[in-house]
Structure 1
Amino acid sequence: MVSKSSGLIFENDKFIVAYKPAGESFHDEEIAGSGFFNQWKRAYQELYPVHRLDKMTSGLMLMAKDSNTASQLSALFAERNVSKLYIALACGKPKKKQGIIKGDMVKSRRGTFKLERTTNNPAITHFQSFSLEPGLRLYKLMPKTGKTHQLRVAMNSLGTAILGDPNYSFTKTDSAIVDRGYLHAYQLAFTLDGHPYAFKADLAMVDGEMFERHREAITELIDPI
């Protein structure tokens, strides 16, 4: 059970920003009240979700304290007025070190999705990649839309599925290293009621052997001086 100080990054009278660990489901699974959101709701009594993170993804979660703020924040996400930066680790090198991944997402097997070349209602992701060590790269991912599994599908479409992704990655590597899915919601920025906000979940709070091993290099690449 969380307390109001456990993983709390920011709080005001309208919303909170909290850190979600990798491997923790946003919604309840087998045990009622065990999901990330309901744990926080118990601590605050009244709390409203405005976006989601996959179970394997760590990072920033924004939750509203009242229904009006929830509507405002949900609208910001829906209207693409929230700037989001994710970081991911993957094996393999894409054909281009940076670019835009764009295409319609369609359901595939076992609850997964695949990216099509059509663009009727496309998922759009900007990316940059950097070498960390032979066979391992850092990806900065900037989604411009917000679709289920969007970043995981985008990375898979490059031929560089996210390291440790249980649905899309089939890289055979040391299981001790692949101790989580290496996708992290690093930064959120938006303007609410005329006030600009920007938040980061830096790597000091993030679990994962490969994040810890390359923490300094990753931090320099995503937050250059």
Structure 2
Amino acid sequence: MTNSEEVVVEPELADEEALEEGEARAEILQIQIPEALAGERLDKALARCAPALSRTAIQRLLALQAVWQQAAAQSADATAWQAVRSDKEKVKAGQWFALHIPAPVPMALQAEEIPLAILYEDKDLLVVNKPAGMTVHPGAGPDGWRGTLVNALLFHCRDSLSGIGGVERPGIVHRLDKETSGLLVVAKNDGAHHHLSAQFAVHSSERQYLAIVKGVPEVTGTVVAPIGRHPKERQKMAVVANGRAAVTHFRRLESWGGCALLACRLETGRTHQIRVHLAHRGFPLLGDPLYSRPFTPPQRWPQAEREIVAAFARQALHAARLGFTHPKSGERLQFQVEPPEDFQQLLQALRTVS
């Protein structure tokens, strides 16, 4: 196909609140037929336009009446859509089709004997130190339903987890990204879950993170910028005018070699909030695969330190402090945990070259 005959494919998420990377979500794929495919059978043309879907998958969607054709071929915004019933229909150039791709059917969650670093536990809640690389709850694909924090909690707590989060997120009050390490509180019953969630909603809980960023920001600062899904790259979030209100406070603790260590405090809890806000201010997290470019250490640095910094392949973010009021006793609980070894090695390498 020539550039003038490019296929127009416009994906939309049916669930705009689906937040985690890799999380299962329904999708609507809008496709406009190019000149080069005029006269082809519908199933064949759609398979050509959507390489991620096999012809068999398209035929299955047709059988489910999940493929819709727009009555007016001139615009993707018209409202007159109708289900297509035959895969043998011949397509015309300029026609619009919408493929309603359902989210994967949830699998049964299995308890797994995965070690947990538990800092505190009673009959109402527990506080864990999540390692980097562990997903909090199940996501898309068969492998996304194994090895998560929820799998580990099901084994450790058995039936003692709140059900408010649904079958995929028992006990989960708040989340950390897969590659972010640090503190999480988990509810063991619905009463505790309600109480803890309310504290997060009114910002009476305390969440402080350590972040290593590229660049050296001012000593203290606050980012007030709404966050929503990125308009083009759907796996990312971004500062957007119609996003949800988000506030991040930061304080510079150290700086060296064109990088800095920040303490970040959240007022709100939006997806990727610290990562998005700091990148928006021009200080992206070191190692962040979504919001930062790779950091190349200067040649003048010692080889050992250059290798440590270059090898750090996740966002340099650690949930270091967590504070909240106990839902039953009313006692104020405060927890603090040191960053994991790879984060500390990165810190030491940067301090060495300062």
The interval holding the TM-score normalised by the smaller chain is 0.7 to 0.9
**Do structure 1's residue 56 and structure 2's residue 192 form an aligned pair?**
no
Q: Which amino acid aligns with 1:194?
A: G
1:112 to 236, 241, 253: 236
Alignment of 1:61-140 (within 5 A): 61-94=184-217, 96-108=218-230, 109-116=233-240, 121-140=244-263
If asked which structure has higher relative contact order (CA below 8 Å, sep 6+), I would say 1
Please, which moves more after superposition, 44-53 or 173-182? Answer: 173-182
Distance apart, 1:133 and its partner CA: 2.0
Structure 2 residue matching 1:2: 3-state secondary structure: coil
Equivalent position SS for 1:111: coil
Distance in 2 between residues matched to 1:159 and 1:137, nearest whole Å: 12
Paired residues of 1:102 and 1:119 also in contact (CA < 8 A): no
Match of 2:157 among 40, 44, 69: 44
Classify the secondary structure of the residue corresponding to 2:127: strand
Q: Give the direction of change, closer, same or farther, for the CA distance of 1:16–1:156 in structure 2 (3 Å limit).
A: same
> Contact 2:210–2:317 at 8 Å: present in 1 too?
yes
Pairing partner for 1:197 from 310, 333, 337: 333
Give CA deviations for 1:8-61 in whole Å, capped at 9, x if unaligned.
111112111111111111122443332112212221112211111011110001
Q: Tell me which amino acid in the other structure corresponds to 1:70.
A: H
> Distance in 2 between the 1:176 and 1:44 partners?
39
Q: CA deviation at 1:207?
A: 3.0
How far off is 1:121 after superposition?
Answer: 4.2
Q: Which has the higher strand share?
A: 1
Structure 1: 5+ residue runs without aligned partners? 219-225
| Alignment map for 1:214-225 (pairs within 5 Å) | 214=347
- The TM-score normalised by the length of structure 1 is 0.84
Which deviates the most, 174-183 or 64-73?
A: 174-183
Q: Count residues in correspondence.
A: 210
The 1-side partners of 2:114 and 2:278 are apart by 32
The answer as to 2:123 corresponding to 1:13 is yes
> 1:120 offset after TM fit, Å?
7.7
Shift of 1:90: 1.1
2:312 touches 2:346 (CA, 8 Å); kept in 1? Answer: no
CA distance in 2, matches of 1:52, 1:59: 10
CA distance in 2, matches of 1:22, 1:50: 18
Amino acid at match of 1:88: A
Cα displacement (A) at 1:81: 1.3
Does the 8 Å contact 1:8/1:16 carry over to 2?
yes
Rg: which structure is higher?
A: 2
- 1: distance between equivalents of 2:346 and 2:283? 20
Instruction: Map Cα deviations across residues 167-209 of structure 1 (whole Å, 9 max, x no partner).
Output: 1011332574323321000001111242110011123xx131x
Letter of the 2:215 counterpart: G
Q: Which residue of 2 aligns with 1:212?
A: 345
Q: Residue 68 of structure 1 aligns to which amino acid in structure 2? A: G
Separation of aligned partners in 1, 2:278 and 2:153:
31
Q: C-alpha offsets along residues 131-190 of structure 1, whole Å, 9 cap, x if unaligned?
A: 342122101100101111111111101111111111101133257432332100000111
Q: Structure 1 residues 19-28 or 105-114, which shifts more?
A: 105-114
Structure 1 residues 82-114: Cα deviation after superposition (integer angstroms, max 9, x where no partner): 0110010011123x2311100111321242122
Contact 2:127 2:185 in 1 (8 A): yes
Give the letter aligned to residue 2 of structure 1.
I
Q: 1:15 to 1:184 in 2, by over 3 A?
A: same
Q: Aligned-residue CA RMSD in angstroms?
A: 2.2
Misfit runs of 4+, over 3 Å: 118-121, 174-177
Distance 1:99 1:50 in 2: 28
- In 2, distance between residues paired with 1:105 and 1:176? 29
